[in-house]
């Protein structure tokens, strides 16, 4: 018992000492406490450093909305595109060692790198990858592979795409460019990108809880999708794909770790006795390479143009030069800023995506961290990055409640969603809630968006929730019936009259449905499904004695549909390099069930994201199978 009180006294004394040291910065804590009270961030943590170490660090809220676990300074949270500065740092380390030249074409290091107009891709240099002027844009099909092979496949697929702008001239934010920069690090260093970053950056900086791969850790924050009045916890496993690991797809950290990262920059590349990068190359990272449109006065900016260096944005904000970068994942985000003139830097981590939120209601990460640094420097807060005009989507139109039934129902995914839907086919449910219409978008059983409809006309509405208002355009036929909707970047069709007839089948403990567009054949081990118009595509559902693989591409991933967890691997068919096979496997009551999907390599990803996901969503446990499964 005595030892217990000694330990408690030590803990309380430590906290008191930390707060006592932080007394000059009590205004920061007061400011952030007020932000938390009026914001919808479930939880967040902030750290401020100078070149000697942390001068302020605190956390607010919880790791999950409605939960009881506090969001702490050690809570692990995604950092998103802040990873681009880490990738740029890794490349510049190799430049510093004379292993890479910034102005050498990428093709020199990656011979297979080319596009449909090679006269442009051949001129792309390493520098252009890091300053976002390569011209490589878009969101190519996902490989569903977490290994380095995924980025090699992406490079191969670039041969079918065109670069529309002259490389090295125009700023175009490019996840593809940084993904290729990560591959460059792997090729030149001889280490996989995640391993190189771990041994050359994270370990020397004592960033013990940070990683660039999706790794299960203790004390992780739960990400949140936008809901009507607060965030919706993300509990889905989701499929993973590794094309953009070096652009920040899965990177995570804590504010304690980021404090060390920022100290290194304030000390011009040094972290205590460890020299991470030469001072001259830190200056290169912060040297303006290209200009682009900054934040408008209407959005709370000054109207001045922003600049991009190598992995960092550069801006004049409130009459001082700052270097900054945000990061977002759709369910979490970060914002980091370095004020070198005052020798200060700060980071914010939060378990909701601030870039998606309605800035007329909730301050953006740039506004919060800019004010934190002002307070740390002994200055007053400002309204920079707060909109100066009212929400222009507000209107007085009222849709008659008598027409509500025309809109309610289920809407199924048809196309779109590069920035919103990466793997699974979502669907929308519109229901009547008292005197309003509510929309809920699901991905499998996970709610990924919930909002109210604010109609502007009978065919146009605005979404109202914690996210920025979005246009919702209904399709209405010549009889006045609603047939579909364009919402949040995706097109969905109303399912009043399903276009396909579905048939039910049972295979052991599994039940599944298939549309009449597929031909179903009973085989010795299960079922074979095929599409007459696609003779090179084949789908098989079989019972297997054991799971064996050969010629696999990368590591396996897992995903869950209707409470069934499937392990997925992709392989090349032996002797048929132009065909791919993806295998989904699950074990129920000691028996192994597998889905083999075979198709031409150039159409494999498309059908995997559409028809195969649709088939997986139809598979469920029969009543007797459910008993065995439980």
In the chain, the percentage of residues whose pLDDT exceeds 90 is 62
Residue 177 · residue 134 · CB < 8 Å: yes
- Quick one: pLDDT band at residue 17, thresholds 50, 70, 90? very low
pLDDT of residue 330: 93
CATH 3.40.605.10 fits 502-629, yes or no: no
Query: Using one digit for the tens of pLDDT, what is the confidence trace for 54-109?
Result: 999 999 999 999 999 999 999 999 999 999 999 999 999 999 999 999 999 999 99
pLDDT of residue 613: 75
Q: How many CB atoms lie within 10 A of CB 232?
A: 22
Q: 401-494: which CATH topology?
A: Lipocalin (2.40.128)
Handedness of CA 434, 439, 442, 448 (dihedral sign): negative
Residue 286 · residue 311 · CB < 8 Å: no
Query: What phi-psi label fits residue 268: left (phi over 0), alpha (psi between -120 and 50 degrees) or beta?
Result: left
CA 77 vs CA 184, 303, 422, 558: distances in Å: 27, 32, 21, 21
pLDDT of residue 488: 80
- What pTM does this model have? 0.78
> Does residue 3 have a pLDDT over 60?
no
Residues 6+ positions from 253 with CB-CB distance below 8 Å: 76, 77, 79, 207, 209, 210, 261, 334, 349
Question: What's the half-sphere exposure (Cβ side, CA atoms, 13 Å) at 99?
Answer: 13
Cα distance between residue 390 and residue 207, in whole Å: 42
Query: Using one digit for the tens of pLDDT, what is the confidence trace for 331-354?
Result: 999 999 999 999 999 999 999 999
Query: Using one digit for the tens of pLDDT, what is the confidence trace for 430-442?
Result: 999 889 999 999 9
User: Taking the domains of the chain in order of start, what are their residue ranges?
Assistant: 73-214+241-368, 401-494, 502-629
Residue 287 · residue 88 · CB < 8 Å: no
Question: What's the half-sphere exposure (Cβ side, CA atoms, 13 Å) at 278?
Answer: 11
Q: How many CB atoms lie within 10 A of CB 79?
A: 32
Architecture of domain 73-214+241-368: 3-Layer(aba) Sandwich (3.40)
Helices (H), 412-488: none
DSSP 295: -
pLDDT of residue 424: 60
Query: Using one digit for the tens of pLDDT, what is the confidence trace for 496-544?
Result: 754 556 688 888 888 888 877 678 899 988 999 887 767 778 889 988 8
Lowest mean per-residue pLDDT among 10-24, 192-206, 562-576: 10-24
More confident residue, 62 or 19: 62
Q: How many CB atoms lie within 10 A of CB 354?
A: 26
Lowest mean per-residue pLDDT among 242-246, 350-354, 537-541, 574-578: 574-578
CA 210 vs CA 77, 510, 624: distances in Å: 9, 40, 44
């Amino acid at each position: 018992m005595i030892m217990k009180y000694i330990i408690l006294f030590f803990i309380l004394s430590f906290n008191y000492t930390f707060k006592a040291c932080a007394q000059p910065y009590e205004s920061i804590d007061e400011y952030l406490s007020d932000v938390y009270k009026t914001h919808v961030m479930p939880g967040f943590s902030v750290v401020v450093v100078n070149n000697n170490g942390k001068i302020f660090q605190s956390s607010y809220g919880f790791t999950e909305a409605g939960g009881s676990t506090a969001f702490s300074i050690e809570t692990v949270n995604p950092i998103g595109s802040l990873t681009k500065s880490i990738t740029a740092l890794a490349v510049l380390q190799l430049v510093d060692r004379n292993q890479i030249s910034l102005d050498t074409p990428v093709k020199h290091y990656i011979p297979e790198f080319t596009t449909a107009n090679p006269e442009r891709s051949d001129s792309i240099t390493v520098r252009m990858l890091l300053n976002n002027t390569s011209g490589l844009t878009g969101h190519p099909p996902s490989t569903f592979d977490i290994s380095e092979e995924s980025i090699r496949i992406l490079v191969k697929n670039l041969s079918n795409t065109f670069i529309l702008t002259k490389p090295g001239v125009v700023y175009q934010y490019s996840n593809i460019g940084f993904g290729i920069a990560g591959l460059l690090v792997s090729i030149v260093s001889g280490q996989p990108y995640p391993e190189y970053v771990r041994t050359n950056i994270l370990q020397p900086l004592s960033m013990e809880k940070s990683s660039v791969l999706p790794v299960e850790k203790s004390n992780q924050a739960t990400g949140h999708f936008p809901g009507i009045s607060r965030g919706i916890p993300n509990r889905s496993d989701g499929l993973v794909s590794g094309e953009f690991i070096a652009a920040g797809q899965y990177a995570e950290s804590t504010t304690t770790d980021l404090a060390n990262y920022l100290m290194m920059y304030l000390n011009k590349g040094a972290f205590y006795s460890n020299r991470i990068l030469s001072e001259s190359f830190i200056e290169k990272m912060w040297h303006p390479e290209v200009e682009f449109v900054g934040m408008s006065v209407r959005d709370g900016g000054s109207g001045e143009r922003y600049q991009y260096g190598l992995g960092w944005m550069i801006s004049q904000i409130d009459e001082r030069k700052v270097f900054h970068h945000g990061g977002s994942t759709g369910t979490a985000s970060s914002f980091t800023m370095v004020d070198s003139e005052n020798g200060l830097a700060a980071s914010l981590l939060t378990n909701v995506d601030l870039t998606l939120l309605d800035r007329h209601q909730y301050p953006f990460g740039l506004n919060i961290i800019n004010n934190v640094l002002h307070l740390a420097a002994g200055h007053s807060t400002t309204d920079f990055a707060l909109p100066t005009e009212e929400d222009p989507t507000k209107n007085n139109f009222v849709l008659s409640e008598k027409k509500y039934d025309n809109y309610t129902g289920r809407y199924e995914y048809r196309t779109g969603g590069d920035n919103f839907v990466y793997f699974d086919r979502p669907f929308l449910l519109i229901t009547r809630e008292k005197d309003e219409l509510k929309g809920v978008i699901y991905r499998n059983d996970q709610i990924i968006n919930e909002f109210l409809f604010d109609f502007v006309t009978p065919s146009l509405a605005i979404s109202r929730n914690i996210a920025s208002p979005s246009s919702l355009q209904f399709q209405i036929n010549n009889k006045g019936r609603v047939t579909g909707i364009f919402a949040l970047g995706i097109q969905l069709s109303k399912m009043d009259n399903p276009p396909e007839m579905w048939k039910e089948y049972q295979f052991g403990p599994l039940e599944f449905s298939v549309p009449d567009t597929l031909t179903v054949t009973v085989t010795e081990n299960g079922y074979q499904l095929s599409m007459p118009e696609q003779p090179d595509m084949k789908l098989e559902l079989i019972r297997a004695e054991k799971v064996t693989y050969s010629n696999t591409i990368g590591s396996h991933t897992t995903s869950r549909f209707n409470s069934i967890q499937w392990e997925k691997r992709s392989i090349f068919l032996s002797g048929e390099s132009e065909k791919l096979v993806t295998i989904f496997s699950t074990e129920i009551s000691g028996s192994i069930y597998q889905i083999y999907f075979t198709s031409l390599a150039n159409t494999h990803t498309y059908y995997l994201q559409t028809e195969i996901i649709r088939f997986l969503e139809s598979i469920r446990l029969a009543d007797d199978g459910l008993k065995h499964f439980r």
